[in-house]
Amino acid sequence: MKTAIKMRDIAGELGVSTVTVSKALAGKDGVGRDLRDRILQKAQELGYVYNSLPRNMLKGRHYNIGILIAAKYLGESSFYWVFYQELLLALKQSPYLGVLEIISPEDEAKNTVPALVAARKVDGVILLGQMPAPYITMLTTQITECVFLDFYSDIGSRDCVASNNFLGSYNLTKLLIDAGHKKIGFIGSTAATTSILDRYLGFCKAMMEAGLPVDPAIEDRDCQGMYIKLMINPAVHTAYVCNNDQIAGILINQLRESGLKIPDDVSIVGFDNESELVTGGVGVTSLALNTAGMSELTVNLLIQQIESPAYTVKGRSFIDGRIVIKQSIAAPRKEDRPAATAYRQG
């Protein structure tokens, strides 16, 4: 009996993805005319029969991807909205649609099953941003097809896509060291997320290589993930590595209250390359994450999980970001300048 030709057979013949073949056969956008013609010709040669019945009837799929984001990540910063937009752009190149669900603090605390998952209206989910371990455990027992984005965890043995935070922080710290700073602090609660911990470890490596003292990380949030007043002292540190640009903005405002200027009195670096609206009107030298590349990889991994019964989990994937130089770094202040002792804890 002749084996039925499948889309993956056509894809293998032409060296393209099954998603590309599916779009070409369905007449969807995103496939060039020449490539579409080649796909159609190869399908005819192989004897492929395209069934025009709705795909969800044929395969039991909804062709929806759930994107889950904790409400705590959607405050003043636009960073996770940028990620969400990049995910939608990546999904646009596939037959799947992205559906957003915001997870409230109460839902996190009670381990409430996301509505999209409970209703079985999605074929897979992307968990954007780290949530508590019990919540992740609950989620991975509810749905198998799941990818963690912007953090990693061994819970559920799922694919994880994150930025290379260790290397990024290492390079940012070296910028401050190269500018002459020897007393550098790190701001970020290392127990909060894997990203913050990796950033602190990259900071530690750069400081240790330079033979400089490594101070404990300065806490920036409480156990619920809410930001707190920063217990910093520029009489001790002449520069700070902030775990994100939101914290850099909070730090800048605290310093200004005591009459200190950036970068004249204190130098600062951060992460996420946010606008000056977030960083108190100061252009903060920052690591810009490759959100497009991370989102594209996340979508591809999830679709492979959904469509390939024999799929093997890839584990952790790290993607490098790039440093964007702005005006927040200068040589350290002179020891006899009044600013060195002017800061007061409000």
Domains annotated for the chain, with CATH where assigned, are 7-52 (1.10.260.40), 58-163+290-320 (3.40.50.2300), 165-289+325-342 (3.40.50.2300)
| pLDDT number for residue 336 | 43
Using the CB atoms, write b or e for 300-316: b if 16+ within 10 Å. bbbbbbbbeeeeeeeee
When comparing pLDDT for 115 and 78, which is higher?
115
> Does residue 316 have a pLDDT over 50?
yes
* Contact call for residues 8 and 15 (beta carbons, < 8 A): no
240 pLDDT higher than 80:
yes
Query: Average pLDDT of the chain?
Result: 89
Q: What is the pLDDT of residue 19?
A: 85
Q: How confident is the model at residue 77 (pLDDT cuts 50, 70, 90)?
A: low
Q: Is the peptide bond before 332 cis (omega within 30 degrees of 0)?
A: no
Q: What is the mean pLDDT of residues 28-42?
A: 81
Is the pLDDT at 185 greater than 50? The verdict is yes
pLDDT at 198: 97
Beta bridge partners of 185: 240
| C-alpha to C-alpha distance for 175 and 171, rounded to whole angstroms | 6
